[in-house]
Structure 1
Amino acid sequence: MPLLDVSDILSDPDFADSAVLIRTTVTVDPVTGRTVNAPVETAISVVQTSDKGQNLRRNPEAAISEGTVTFHSTVTFVEGNADAGLDADIVRWNGRDWTVVTVDDYSRYGAGFTVATCRLLDLR
């Protein structure tokens, strides 16, 4: 087991930032057969780092701002799990919504943490 414990840093107010985790449970209504989304918002502490940053992609149809960032937290992020009825988590940070696309598990480091690579959800 690694001896480095980074959990204190991930919650240190000098280093961490606040965000909102939106976890959505997806069920199927037995009567209509339609999916029903039940989002739950939770305040969390994250350390945000740039992944590929924000890029402007110019197409003939439109200019699209896209980008990815990483969030480090003691919260266990979910990239979606159909068997458990969970959609991919959304992290609301700095006024923008980011959807979790990949999760790396570092639970062996001290109290443990996960790193989520997130893609910009709202295109401006």
Structure 2
Amino acid sequence: MALLDVTDVLLDPDFMDMGLACVRTTETVGDNGRPTTTTVRSVFAGVITSDSGDILERLAGGERKKGSITIHTIFQLTSGFDNVTADTVTWRGNEYVVSNVNDYAHFGRGFVSATCDLKPLAG
């Protein structure tokens, strides 16, 4: 285990954003062969940094806006596994889909660093 507890900084109220919401969707298949979807909404805190920022792509058929952020948090975000889809995070009125999660459990209490892509593409 590393000696530096990064969560001391991540949990500092002066540094983190308290207004994050996560929607996690689980799909199960019943005995009748039909899928059932369960959605759970959780509120959490984290430190938000820009990843690639907002990018305007100009294409022959029009324009679209894309972008990404990085979230550092002790909340266990996921980019999907088994029957759980990738988490959707709402921040400042925008929705982002978790595309990559790095686990830093060996730093103190542990945290994750998640790359999240803007959803939906707009333009």
Instruction: Give TM-score scaled by structure 1 length.
Output: 0.91
Structure 2: how far apart are the matches of 1:117 and 1:74? 14
Distance verdict in 2 for CA 1:110–1:54, change over 3 Å: same
Amino acid corresponding to residue 51 of structure 2 in structure 1: D
Runs ≥4 in structure 1, deviation > 4 angstroms?
none
The answer as to 2:117 corresponding to 1:119 is yes
Paired position in structure 1 for 2:72 = 72
SS in 2 for 1:43: strand
Paired position in structure 1 for 2:50 = 50
SS in 2 for 1:76: coil
Distance verdict in 2 for CA 1:57–1:4, change over 3 Å: same
Give the aligned length.
Answer: 121
Structure 1: how far apart are the matches of 2:28 and 2:56? 36
SS in 1 for 2:44: strand
Structure 2: how far apart are the matches of 1:61 and 1:86? 34
Instruction: Give TM-score scaled by structure 2 length.
Output: 0.91
- Which structure carries more strand by proportion? 2
Distance verdict in 2 for CA 1:58–1:25, change over 3 Å: same
Structure 2: how far apart are the matches of 1:16 and 1:35? 37
Structure 2: how far apart are the matches of 1:24 and 1:17? 23
SS in 2 for 1:5: coil
SS in 2 for 1:109: coil
* Percent identity (aligned): 40
Amino acid corresponding to residue 21 of structure 2 in structure 1: V
1:90 CA displacement: 0.9
